[in-house]
Structure 1
């Protein structure tokens, strides 16, 4: 009887070595593909938080007042941020995309949802800087007004859209004084007065140009979503009674507006608004004190929790994204205006926060 010939040790070793080599090559291909394949997505992660009542690296206060009495305070009023990985000029790679999906505290979004269409990194930075400046201007006005001091303002045409009703009829620097014969003092009220009609209806806008008053009549058009408009951007120009400066460092965007306004109120009024408690929050603010929604609410709540804040003020319009995403140990209060935010902080400071409105009730 002749035994069948079995592969010798050398052949078995060659097969094992070949298998290892094949797996190594495949792994190398996967690693290289994940590293060098770029994807048009951005990853939102929790960013740092900054105390609006705190100090800068040089020891100066983040909020400073010149020309009026200010007061020492304590506690924390944190504004929260989102760290964004990726931009239209530097896409994330496959591994960053995968890790973003696996991390429960991150959100992966198409770049266009984060940055808009066809914007360069420089344009994005300039836009965020402009929005931060506008946010600080509104916050200063709202904060000062909350103390009972008047802050006059003029509402200027900042931009006129092409091929829209205002083109050729309004110009940048025109001061809008009325809508349909009614004097209006706030930008938000002008926008509401114009849009509160059917598309195709006429609107009479009173303006001042070169110190001369005039009235311009236009027919509204659909500026998106069936909303009536004339195609202008309007910005307030404030006449502050004294100087308030806010230094947020390199942070951009408008989402810290509500927290800035609370800080301005605090330093202009005696006593500590928070009574030593740590409160975080986010939300835009307009010249009427309305609090608006922001992006990255989940990441901002996580950042607040990581900073040991136990309370968080969230815009009402973000409630659909808040429910089911609140980090353990964080109490979230829903606010729609500066006055509601101020009332919430005072209630939390007194230990009466349990009955404040939340996104669940």
Structure 2
């Protein structure tokens, strides 16, 4: 999704503007002294100084215009976010169901639960022309963001694609887990250590590949539960962890770090789920974690009786955790415009994105803020019934943008 242009008109305009200065009629007194009958029009010779000044003006005009063109084409360290297409999680893509469930009874659905995308121009290996950046600053549908705010310094396009694909895969797994959690259906979670940070307090005690089994005497069933148990530990306190290491039981006592984001073991944890049925999601060339909530809603609608949307077209965005927490996403303004262009009248937005939503809502689009999958499901069911929709929480009552 990328482009650049050249403004040659600026050069032509500068040349035409100065060429008029090359012609003038003398008004000197000597010309007026000749008898009227013998007077004849004439063109006086231009003084050398005036000729030099006119040439200088032409040269300066050309240089200024050339400078503008060069500046317009200069690379700029920004990326442009613009509205991307919407995908109905209840619909089809390339003739096949976007979301397909096997091993569990499914039910007919109607309406749409649209997940939104954001197109990104620029990024690692690609520098945008300054002119494109300026144009996008003016366009209310687009956002201009510093490249370092989106991509880690030194990232390559290949690394970005790999990361986006991994985030999409993880969001799909979390969506299935969240849907099952919402429906009180059982599944199994395995937490495996996928590496340690450089200054990890667990270094020498836990190893890459260890499967976490218990914290103290409490069996570990989810990542959120592990975090909850860790946050109970006071400063300077330690915790005993039981792990499975290549089929053998081991234990380790770790004194975790207390940080602003919580109590940390200094390890990277991978979640693996074992579900009672299979969910296949077909979506090509789309990456990132922000479709998680809409995937989860689509799964719930597919495996429960009756169309949850009531035939309405509802769009939304938000990351999802296995326990159903809805998290913030990037490019929410572009996603709202994408929802409107896709024909939705309702938009589910993470509560944590509300500051970006306020004052930027497209006309005829109603935004509902949600914090959990339960909030989102309740909103969809309220929209379907047509009852109590005025009570649905919104980010702001500010004026919509056109």
Q: TM-score, normalised on structure 1?
A: 0.90
The DSSP-based 3-state class of the residue aligned with 2:97 is: coil
Alpha-carbon displacement from aligned partner over 1:116-172 (angstroms, at most 9, x marks no partner): 232111111111110100000111222234344311221222232222112222223
Partner of 1:267: 302
Distance in 1 separating the partners of 2:148 and 2:231: 27
Distance in 1 separating the partners of 2:326 and 2:239: 27
1:52 to 73, 79, 89: 89
Partner of 2:396: 360
Partner of 2:338: 303
Distance in 1 separating the partners of 2:395 and 2:368: 7
1:63 aligns with 2:104: no
1:39 aligns with 2:76: yes
**TM-superposed deviation, 1:207:** 2.1
* C-alpha contact (below 8 Å) 1:49/1:79 kept by paired residues: yes
The DSSP-based 3-state class of the residue aligned with 1:280 is: strand
Partner of 2:30: 2
2:293 to 243, 247, 258: 258
Q: Which consecutive residues of structure 1, in runs of 5 or more, have no partner in the other structure? A: none
**TM-superposed deviation, 1:8:** 5.4
Q: Residue 22 and residue 153 in structure 1: after superposition, are their counterparts in 2 closer, same or farther (change >3 A)?
A: same
* C-alpha contact (below 8 Å) 2:182/2:324 kept by paired residues: no
Q: TM-score, normalised on structure 2?
A: 0.82
Alpha-carbon displacement from aligned partner over 1:57-87 (angstroms, at most 9, x marks no partner): 1x11000112222122110101111111111
1:152 aligns with 2:188: yes
**TM-superposed deviation, 1:2:** 2.1
Partner of 1:27: 65
Tell me the number of residue pairs that the alignment of Structure 1 and Structure 2 aligns: 358
Distance in 2 separating the partners of 1:261 and 1:359: 22
Q: Residue 310 and residue 13 in structure 1: after superposition, are their counterparts in 2 closer, same or farther (change >3 A)?
A: farther
Structure 1 segment 1-361 matched on structure 2, within 5 A: 2-3=30-31, 7=44, 19=57, 22-35=60-73, 37-57=74-94, 59-197=95-233, 200-221=236-257, 225=260, 227-352=262-387, 353-360=389-396
Distance in 2 separating the partners of 1:334 and 1:359: 6
* C-alpha contact (below 8 Å) 2:227/2:263 kept by paired residues: no
Distance in 1 separating the partners of 2:395 and 2:216: 37
**TM-superposed deviation, 1:349:** 0.7
Distance in 2 separating the partners of 1:195 and 1:101: 43
**TM-superposed deviation, 1:235:** 2.3
Deviating more after overlay: 271-280 vs 147-156: 147-156
Distance in 2 separating the partners of 1:358 and 1:181: 43
* C-alpha contact (below 8 Å) 1:40/1:88 kept by paired residues: no
Distance in 1 separating the partners of 2:384 and 2:318: 20
* C-alpha contact (below 8 Å) 2:240/2:253 kept by paired residues: yes
Query: Which structure has the larger Rg?
Result: 2
Distance in 2 separating the partners of 1:156 and 1:84: 33
Distance in 2 separating the partners of 1:10 and 1:274: 83
Deviating more after overlay: 321-330 vs 341-350: 321-330
Q: Which consecutive residues of structure 2, in runs of 5 or more, have no partner in the other structure? A: 1-28, 33-41, 398-402
Distance in 1 separating the partners of 2:133 and 2:227: 39
Deviating more after overlay: 160-169 vs 187-196: 187-196
Q: Residue 145 and residue 20 in structure 1: after superposition, are their counterparts in 2 closer, same or farther (change >3 A)?
A: same
Distance in 1 separating the partners of 2:45 and 2:229: 90
Q: Residue 359 and residue 201 in structure 1: after superposition, are their counterparts in 2 closer, same or farther (change >3 A)?
A: farther
Distance in 2 separating the partners of 1:82 and 1:240: 30
